[in-house]
DNA sequence: CCCTGATTCGC
DNA sequence: GCGAATCAGG
């Protein structure tokens, strides 16, 4: 972010108008962290923060996990990487247990996971699965299947029973 | 889990 | 100085 005088003015203006940091970020095309960080440095009047940090100065618990190296997060998947680029086998701390193969591993998305649970195919037969697409917010089905799942009472008369 | 703002700290 | 990561509360 290039904090030109104009950008700073805009930030101050939006801040003064009481927009949330995320909203300001959206309007300015930057992250809310950039907004809050800059506002903080500019000593803009703090907003009512949902957090108290004064109370207990975090006794002991925060060992603050070392941040992962940035490059590690953007490294291409191993499948797409030439063997010659293969990273050194990092010291393995824990070995993942071998995957358990079940008849229908994907049949039941874990409760609490977010994927469309509209059934596809015949239950009990091979190939049966759930849709699994991104569900609508607050609904168990994707937009497509929510349209099928949620029928207005008015519209249900005709085909009911 | 979505949101919020605040702080830290590698860059 | 910057802002992602993190924290912490709703």
In a domain, A20, yes or no: yes
Q: Burial of A141 by CB count in 10 Å (0-12 exposed, 13-18 middle, 19+ buried)?
A: buried
Give the range of the structural domain holding residue A123, as residue numbers without chain letter: 119-160
Asked if strand B comes closer than 7 Å to A50 Cβ, the answer is: yes
In a domain, A134, yes or no: yes
CA A65 / C1′ C6 distance in Å: 10
Label residues A87-97 b or e (16+ Cβ within 10 Å = b). Answer: eeeeeeeeeee
In a domain, A79, yes or no: no
CA A83 / C1′ B2 distance in Å: 41
Q: Is the pTM of this model over 0.95?
A: no
- Residue A143, pLDDT score: 78
In a domain, A107, yes or no: no
CA A115 / C1′ C2 distance in Å: 37
Is the CB of residue A24 less than 8 Å from the CB of residue A15? Answer: yes
Q: Is the pLDDT of residue A29 over 70?
A: yes
Asked if strand C comes closer than 7 Å to A146 Cβ, the answer is: no
Asked if strand B comes closer than 7 Å to A109 Cβ, the answer is: no
In a domain, A105, yes or no: no
Domain count, chain A: 2
Asked if strand C comes closer than 7 Å to A50 Cβ, the answer is: yes
Q: pLDDT tens, A30-73?
A: 999 999 999 989 888 888 777 766 644 444 444 444 445 444 43
In a domain, A24, yes or no: yes
């Amino acid at each position: 972010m290039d904090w030109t005088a104009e950008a700073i003015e805009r930030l101050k203006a939006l801040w003064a108008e009481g927009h949330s940091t995320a909203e300001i970020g959206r309007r300015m095309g930057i992250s809310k962290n950039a907004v809050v960080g800059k506002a903080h440095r500019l000593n803009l009047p703090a907003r009512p923060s949902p957090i108290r940090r004064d109370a207990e100065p975090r006794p002991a618990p925060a060992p603050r996990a070392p941040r992962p190296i940035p490059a590690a997060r953007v490294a291409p998947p191993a499948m797409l990487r030439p063997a010659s680029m293969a990273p050194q086998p990092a010291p393995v701390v824990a070995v993942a247990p071998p995957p358990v193969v079940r008849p229908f591993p994907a049949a039941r998305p874990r409760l609490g996971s977010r994927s469309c649970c509209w059934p596809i195919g015949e239950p009990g037969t091979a190939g049966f699965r759930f849709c699994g697409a991104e569900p609508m917010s607050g609904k168990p089905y994707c937009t497509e299947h929510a349209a099928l799942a949620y029928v207005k009472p008015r519209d249900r008369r005709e085909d009911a029973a």
